[in-house]
């Protein structure tokens, strides 16, 4: 999987792809309309961040490229790649428990904080793309 050169794009269905972990300088796209929701993405090699209608959705340190990011009523799923292992934070329902699956492996149940954020560590270095699924 390669970086998303457009920084953000619509995919088939209700998914989006965003982020370019190969950029040396910060880049952003604001007010990208997907189904009536306005997305903002900021990305470069050190950070990738996504907001929907001004609310936090996704952040990774260092930067990542994300394909087929889908938000459902009970969680999120996406494919991610990057040059280095990443800490990914996802905005979900506050104070809820979620089952986390990374690269086809169940890593257990995790609880969001009062702000609805869930942080996971993903080993990306030398692995190509990794599937992530988080379900309530």
Q: Where are the domains of the chain?
A: 8-135
The string of pLDDT tens digits covering residues 6-35 is 899 999 888 999 999 999 999 999 999 998
The string of pLDDT tens digits covering residues 101-129 is 999 999 999 999 989 999 999 999 888 89
Q: What is the pTM of this model?
A: 0.93
pLDDT of residue 10: 95
In this structure, how many other beta carbons lie within 10 angstroms of the beta carbon of residue 96? Answer: 14
Q: Which two tokens stand for residue 49?
A: 């961040």
Determine the CATH number of domain 8-135. 2.60.220
End-to-end CA distance of the chain: 27
């Amino acid at each position: 999987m390669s970086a998303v050169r457009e920084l953000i794009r619509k995919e088939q269905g209700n998914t989006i792809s965003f982020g370019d972990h190969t950029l040396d300088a910060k880049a952003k796209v604001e007010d990208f309309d997907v189904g009536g929701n306005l997305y903002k993405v900021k990305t470069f090699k050190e950070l990738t961040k996504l907001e929907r209608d001004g609310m936090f959705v996704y952040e990774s340190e260092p930067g990542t490229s994300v394909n087929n990011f889908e938000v459902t009523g009970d969680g999120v799923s996406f494919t991610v790649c990057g040059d280095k292992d990443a800490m990914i934070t996802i905005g979900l329902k506050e104070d809820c428990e979620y089952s986390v699956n990374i690269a086809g492996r169940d890593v257990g149940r995790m609880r969001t904080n009062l702000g609805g954020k869930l942080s996971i560590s993903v080993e990306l270095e030398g692995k190509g793309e990794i599937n992530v699924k988080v379900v309530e």
